Amino acid sequence: MFAVIMAGGSGTRFWPASREHLPKQFLKITSDRSMLEETLARVAHFAPLTQSSVVVGRLHAEHTQALLAGQPTQILVEPRGRNTAACIGLAALHVAREALDEPIVILPADHFIADVAAFAQTVLAAGDAARSGAIVQIGIKPTRPETGYGYIHTGAVAGEALGQPYFSVKRFVEKPNVETALQYLASGDYLWNSGIFVFTARTILAEIETCLPALHEGLQEIAAAIGTPDYEAAVARVYDRIDSISIDYGVMEKTTKPIYVFQADFGWSDVGSWDALYDLRASEYDAEENLLLGETLIVDAKRNLVFSTTERKVALLGVEGLVIVDTPDAVMIAQRDRSQDVKRFSDLLKQK
Amino acid sequence: MFAVIMAGGSGTRFWPASREHLPKQFLKITSDRSMLEETLARVAHFAPLTQSSVVVGRLHAEHTQALLAGQPTQILVEPRGRNTAACIGLAALHVAREALDEPIVILPADHFIADVAAFAQTVLAAGDAARSGAIVQIGIKPTRPETGYGYIHTGAVAGEALGQPYFSVKRFVEKPNVETALQYLASGDYLWNSGIFVFTARTILAEIETCLPALHEGLQEIAAAIGTPDYEAAVARVYDRIDSISIDYGVMEKTTKPIYVFQADFGWSDVGSWDALYDLRASEYDAEENLLLGETLIVDAKRNLVFSTTERKVALLGVEGLVIVDTPDAVMIAQRDRSQDVKRFSDLLKQK
């Protein structure tokens, strides 16, 4: 298999640890390694590193090169963010030169997966299913009525690969309100859209040609320049003019090809907030359910998350349910249950 | 009048802003000047600076010299802390060389006073009353059932100075429990013991001779060395052997001399905690009653105190009633109503 890791995010949800020059995928929040490194380590379970690539924005190219120095992983640089359709198209072009009909797994650089063995099995099964030319998605069994994700409404079992069943897709649905999310959860027919896809280069490039002709035309221009001195300039020209559109809107919701979905249950999180990170690392709580990632002094404090990138001491007295993030030039103190609003600080700073 | 400012405190209640090398009196917490500078500015309302002195510990001598560079204020250095009786005795020795029968006001370096004009009037009146040889105290009209202070039980009006009545003292009482404190508050006969005294050098040195003979003997040894090369060594020898005792225990509760007390109402606080500081500076609250002393970014946060000695941004989201203190090597986050327990961090650090 081939693997393409999308590392183009410029997230603001982990401010002040995440910044424009250091978005979430480069943070050591889920372990002592960055999320990108964790993702690459996971990929090694089903794809050789020589067949893996990372797509990053120009701002993060140098950092990524340093991080992956000595590894055979290919780094593809996007001159600007143009959402997932362009990112996947660009990566598929490169894979197509080596293997038009091998499955490619597309996965975001900033997700957490608890059970890597189960994950690898599902990806390998999805790869098997994708060899036929199908578009394959990995859906996550919902564990709560989440209103922050899109859902996949699954139909009947459509087949089986490596002993795992896969389902047809009835439709993709937008982020629901809480009542609808509760119905989805109860029905058992809805999966979270994880943003993990598997298809061959031939399949996805053909679908882009059908559904997104302007992107297809741009990719043709880039393809002609691969291996020539014009490559970088060609990518820049194309990215300047193409629309910003997601693979979900641009291809998945338009295609007439069969889409199959695997139902996965390997402990997945998109780690969308400091609060999600707190939930994720429950095994590391102290006796008072504090998650303390840094130098701390604690007096009567409960259920707090401390995350520090400095050597400074973070001292807590009598506080409960907070997230405290300490960095060299800013310290944030938030109610943990308000951590979805952390991005408002980035907005405030832009206004200034 | 003469003025003696006691600046020997080594407080831990304003950690992490206050440290062993930078106790509260050197912090800029009540204004843009340190509390010691504020106190000196206040003294200038009733005593010429040439007649003022500051008593500090050895650890803080250099800092104090730098702070008061170019001012005629005398700096007296104690080789170690021996509580207020020794501190006052030492200062009185020095004043005695200039004026045995002039009133000396003794005041802590780390108190806040709102109405400086009213304060100066009371001090001048107390000075007038002290010329007769009496020991005079300034008591504060209680505004709440405070359990953290000693109280002075006042008797009848004993006289009048510069138009202000003063009272006899029935007794000094220890820090009460809350029921007793409520009775004191209701009775109107109890005042907070502010630690501000007025007496002549002759009076206090005679009282020390009577009540604290060992200290008296030590002071004699120091007196003989003043102006000689042996002075510093003499002070060190004496401070090594004398007991640590407060002027309240050592003299006030033992003396047979009359003690008079003025009843003051000039907006006094000993600024005993971060919470007390928050209450003190209410006029500086933002619209959400935050007191923001530093660079901040605020989203939906109420009634917090931010105090920063760094250039870093302190960002608050959704939090209420906290005190956040940011310093170069530590940041503290506490429930504001727990700020009397801040000293526990110093204990924790000593244990480590």
Instruction: Report which DSSP code applies to A313.
Output: E
CB B203 within 8 A of CB B135: yes
Clarify whether residues B70 and B174 are in a common domain. yes
The answer to whether residues A264 and A298 belong to one domain is no
Q: Angle between the A35-43 and A116-130 helix axes, to the nearest 10 degrees?
A: 60
Q: Among A19, A299, A300, which would you mutate to test the B interface (most chain B Cβ atoms within 10 Å of its Cβ)?
A: A299
Task: Report the C-alpha gap between B50 and B30 in whole angstroms.
Answer: 25
User: Does residue B10 register a pLDDT over 90?
Assistant: no
Structure confidence at residue B352 (pLDDT): 81
- CB atoms closer than 10 angstroms to residue A339: 25
Q: Assess A324–B contact: CB distance below 8 Å, yes or no.
A: yes
A291 token code pair: 């998650």
Determine how many CB atoms are found less than 10 A away from the CB of residue B58: 14
Which H helix or E strand runs over A315? strand A313-317
| Of A214-218, B250-254, B265-269, B342-346, highest mean pLDDT | A214-218
**Closest approach of A330 to chain B, Cα-based (Å):** 4
What ipTM was reported for this prediction?
A: 0.90
Q: What percent of chain B has pLDDT over 70?
A: 100
Among A315, A319, A339, whose Cβ lies nearest the Cβ of B335?
A: A319
pLDDT bin (cut points 50, 70, 90) of residue B73 is: very high
In Å, how far from its chain's centre is CA B111?
5
Reply yes or no on whether the pLDDT at A11 is more than 80: no
Q: Average pLDDT for residues A300-320, to the nearest whole number?
A: 98
Q: For residue B288, what are its two tokens? A: 């959400």
Residue A16: DSSP 8-state: T
| Nearest CA-CA distance, residue B31 and chain A, Å | 24
Among A249, A269, A289, the domain-final residue is A269
Task: Give the domain extent around A346.
Answer: 274-351
Q: Are A244 and A315 part of one and the same domain?
A: no
B298 and B225 inside one domain: no
Mean pLDDT to the nearest integer, A55-72: 95
Token pair 């640890």 is at which residue?
A17
Burial state string for B183-194 with b = 16 or more CB within 10 A and e = fewer than 16: ebbeeeebbbbb
**Cross-chain residue pair B348–A322, CB shorter than 8 Å:** no
Query: Model-level pTM?
Result: 0.90
Provide mean pLDDT across the span A251-280. 94
H helices, E strands: number in chain A? 11, 17
A297 to chain B, any CB pair closer than 8 A? The answer is yes
Q: CB distance from B306 to chain A under 8 Å?
A: no
Q: How many A-B residue pairs are in contact by the CB < 8 A criterion?
A: 114
Amino acid at position B345, single letter: F
Return d(Cα A50, Cα A47) in angstroms, integer: 8
Q: What is the pLDDT of residues B283-313, one digit of tens each?
A: 999 999 999 999 999 999 999 999 999 999 9
Best residue in A14, A312, A324 for a mutation probing chain B (most B CBs within 10 Å) = A312
- Inter-chain contact B338–A312, Cβ cutoff 8 Å? no
* Cα-based angle B184, B119, B207 (whole degrees, multiple of 5): 70
- Mutation pick from A274, A300, A317 vs chain B, by most beta carbons of B within 10 Å, is A317
DSSP A336: G
Query: Which residues have C-beta within 8 Å of that of residue A5, sequence separation ≥ 6?
Result: A36, A39, A40, A43, A52, A53, A54, A55, A107, A108, A109
Measured in whole angstroms, the distance separating CA A43 from the mean position of its chain's CA atoms is 13
Q: Indicate which CATH number applies to the domain containing B196.
A: 3.90.550.10
Q: From B338, which residue of chain A is nearest by alpha-carbon distance?
A: A318
CA distance B10 to B80: 11
CA atoms within 13 A on the CB side of B270: 18
Residue A351: the pLDDT is: 87
B319 touches chain A (CB under 8 A): yes
Residues B136 and B284 placed together within one structural domain of the fold: no
> Average model confidence (pLDDT) for chain A?
96
- Buried b / exposed e over B130-151, threshold 16 CB at 10 Å, is bbeebbbbbbbebeebbeebbb
**Which B residues 6-45 touch A at CB under 8 Å?**
15-16
Set of chain B residues whose Cβ sits within 8 Å of the Cβ of A332: 315-317
* Contact at CB, A317 and B300, closer than 8 angstroms: no
Q: Is the peptide bond before A16 cis (omega within 30 degrees of 0)?
A: yes
DSSP letters, B91-139, are HHHHHHTT-TTSEEEEEETT-EES-HHHHHHHHHHHHHHHTTT-EEEEE
Same domain, B291 and B262: no
Is residue B315 domain-shared with residue B229, that is, in the same domain? no
Checking if the pLDDT of B212 tops 80, the result is: yes
pLDDT band at B176 (very low <50, low <70, confident <90, very high): very high
- What pLDDT was estimated at residue A227? 95
Is the CB of residue B214 less than 8 Å away from at least one CB of chain A?
no
Residue B31's pLDDT band, with cuts at 50, 70 and 90, is very high
Residues B157 and B283 in one domain: no
Report percent pLDDT > 90 for chain A.
Answer: 95
How many CA atoms within 13 Å lie on the side-chain side of B96?
18
pLDDT digits (tens, 9 = 90+) for B135-154: 999 999 999 999 989 999 99
Which residues lie closer than 8 Å to A247 by C-beta, 6 or more apart? A83, A84, A85, A88, A106, A197
Locate A184 and state its tokens: 């989805």
Strands (E), B141-235: 151-161, 164-173, 190-200
B296 and B240 housed in the same domain: no
| pLDDT tens sequence across A134-149 | 999 999 999 999 998 9
Looking at residue A238, its pLDDT comes to 98
Distant-in-sequence, close-in-space partners of A317: CB < 8 Å, separation ≥ 6:
A299, A300, A301, B332, B333, B334, B335, B338, B339, B341, B342, B344, B345
Percent of chain A clearing pLDDT 70 (strictly above): 100
Q: Are residues A289 and A177 in the same domain?
A: no
Q: How far apart are CA B293 and CA B30, in angstroms?
A: 10
B192, amino acid identity: W
Please give the pLDDT value at position A12: 84
pLDDT band at A10 (very low <50, low <70, confident <90, very high): confident
Distance CA B36, CA B67 (A): 9
Q: Tell me: pLDDT of A27 over 80.
A: yes
Last residue of a domain, one of A269, A285, A310: A269
Residue A352: per-residue pLDDT: 81
Q: Are residues A254 and A106 in the same domain?
A: yes
10 Å CB burial of residue B256 (0-12, 13-18, 19+) is exposed
Q: Determine the residue type at A328.
A: P
Cβ(B104)–Cβ(B198) below 8 Å = yes
pLDDT for position A136: 98
CA dist., res. A192 & res. A139, Å (int): 5
Q: Count up the domains in chain A and report the number.
A: 2
Distance (Å, whole) CA A118 – CA B130: 87
Of A224, A244, A269, the last residue of a domain is A269
Condensed to tens digits (0 to 9), the pLDDT of residues A312-350 reads: 999 999 999 999 999 999 999 999 999 999 999 989 998
A-chain residues near B329 (CB < 8 A): 311-313
Taking all residues of chain B, what is their mean pLDDT, rounded to a whole number? 96
What would the mean pLDDT of A81-95 be, rounded to a whole number? 97
Which three-class secondary structure state does DSSP give residue A150?
Answer: coil
Q: Quick one: tokens of B150?
A: 């000693």
pLDDT level of residue A162 (50, 70, 90 thresholds): very high
Q: How far is residue B102's CA from residue B198's CA, in Å, rounded to a whole number?
A: 10
- What token pair was written down for B326? 């940011």
Predicted confidence at residue A20, as pLDDT, reads 86
Residue B11 clears pLDDT 80, i.e. is over it = no
> A296 is written with which tokens?
């701390």
Record: contact A299-B332, CB cut-off 8 A: no
The answer to whether residues B313 and B179 belong to one domain is no
Using the Cβ of A314 and the Cβ atoms of chain B, whether some distance falls under 8 Å is answered with yes
